[in-house]
Amino acid sequence: MMCFQNWRLWSLNLEGNHYGLGVFKMQNKAFLFSFLVSLSFINFSLFIGFSVFAKGIMQPGDIFKDCDVCPEMVVIPPGKFMMGAPKSEKDRDINEGPRRKVTIAKVFAAGQFEITRAQFAAFVTETGHDVGKCWIFEKGRWKKNQPNMSYKNPGFHQDDTHPAVCVNWNDAKAYVSWLSRKTKKNYRLLSEAEWEYVARAKTNTPFWWGQSILTSQANYNGANYKGYGQNGHDNSKGSEESFRQKTVPVFSFKANEFGLYNVHGNVWEWVEDCWHDNYHGAPTDGTAWTKAGDCSKPVLRGGSWFERPKDLRSAERMYGIATYRFSNSGFRVARTLTE
């Protein structure tokens, strides 16, 4: 039996965690009652916390994979952001406005990397999906629908850590459908709003790291476009580094604050939305805009190894033909975590 007259309580041990409660002196029954109520609340809170952890509820920043050949996914926090470019932004296009506030109300998961050759190959092997023909860039020009070119042979060297290219929108949709069946989870393409949200990662500048861009920060054509923002492009490593003319591994360069790699450059990324010429009437809740517009021309985001610096900006948007495959286009996936 514990005596509450003039006693010292040095610590309380809960689930192996040491919580110092300090030295205190009980003055009266009212204080004792208050202490016991507070202690009960602590125990209840810890119980809820341990229960949530036990149920596997993930927290923003957590990284997971649902299977051996599945992509690495990062849990993205909810939040609000201004979508589109301000009129004062260098190289802003008219289709990047009007700027509006978008609310991402629920956590979701986004691919830490662009889908790799190895991940796409697993899908093709398991389903027998037709990978078709591909446009490739060769000797300074694009060659249309080359029959022997595909994600396996895009016209430049790749290994399994490079992003899958020569992938059209229909291929990307088939991949996420397969992944959903395989894992029994809701995989999908990002909406255009989600894509810009994760690319910006709480920033308002053209690139998540700031106003300017260097070829040491992203994979793009820096050889012929001197000067962007304050620093321009990086010629310190020679012309090959300034315009690599090919993809680089998906883990190249630094991740942004949300933990995503290569949101600027490397490959254009397909998203769910149909093309609209501007944001008049666009959703403000982060969902894909699939009403009206031209759904034969889905949206592409992020720029690629072939593009100018301006095309890598967070607000930059363009469309592609849903059935066309190019050696500078790939995709990143999303997964719904809550209904």
290-324, pLDDT tens digit by residue?
998 999 999 999 999 999 999 999 999 999 999 99
Closest CA relative to residue 301, chosen from 111, 104, 100:
111
pLDDT at 58: 87
- pTM of the shown model: 0.82
- What's the gap between Cα 3 and its chain centre? 58
Tell me if residue 138 falls in helix, strand or coil.
strand
pLDDT at 160: 98
295, two tokens: 């759904």
Stated as kind and residue range, the H or E segment containing 43 is helix 29-54
Neighbours of 314 (CB within 10 A): 29
pLDDT at 225: 67
Average pLDDT over residues 27-37: 44
Average pLDDT over residues 25-40: 43
* Residue 12 CA: distances (Å) to CA of 2, 3, 15: 14, 16, 10
- 240 pLDDT tier (thresholds 50, 70, 90): low
- CA pair distance 257, 245, nearest whole angstrom: 27
- CA pair distance 185, 178, nearest whole angstrom: 10
Which is it for the CA torsion 39, 45, 50, 55, positive or negative? Answer: positive
With a cut of 60, say whether residue 28 has pLDDT above it: no
With a cut of 50, say whether residue 23 has pLDDT above it: no
180, two tokens: 């959903």
- CA pair distance 18, 183, nearest whole angstrom: 39
Tell me if residue 91 falls in helix, strand or coil.
coil
Instruction: Work out the percent of the chain whose per-residue pLDDT is above 70.
Output: 78
Domain ranges of the chain: 11-54, 63-336
pLDDT at 57: 74
Average pLDDT over residues 4-21: 33
With a cut of 80, say whether residue 42 has pLDDT above it: no
- pLDDT: is 29 or 240 the higher one? 240
For the domain spanning 63-336, the CATH number is 3.90.1580.10
pLDDT at 236: 42
pLDDT at 226: 58
Q: Tell me the H-state helices in the chain.
A: 29-54, 117-127, 169-183, 192-200, 239-242
pLDDT at 56: 61
Between 29-38, 123-132, 134-143, 308-317, the lowest mean confidence (pLDDT) is in 29-38
Average pLDDT over residues 82-109: 97
pLDDT at 11: 32
Report the chain's mean pLDDT, rounded to a whole number. 85
- pLDDT: is 118 or 232 the higher one? 118
Residue type, 167: V
Close Cβ partners of 183 (under 8 Å, ≥ 6 residues apart): 66, 67, 70
- pLDDT: is 236 or 288 the higher one? 288
Between 22-31, 78-87, 116-125, 278-287, the lowest mean confidence (pLDDT) is in 22-31
- pLDDT: is 84 or 19 the higher one? 84
With a cut of 60, say whether residue 21 has pLDDT above it: no
Q: What are residue 215's phi and psi, to 5 degrees?
A: -70, -5
With a cut of 60, say whether residue 227 has pLDDT above it: no
What stretches of 54-190 adopt beta strand conformation (E)?
Answer: 63-64, 73-76, 79-83, 100-104, 108-111, 134-138, 141-146, 187-189
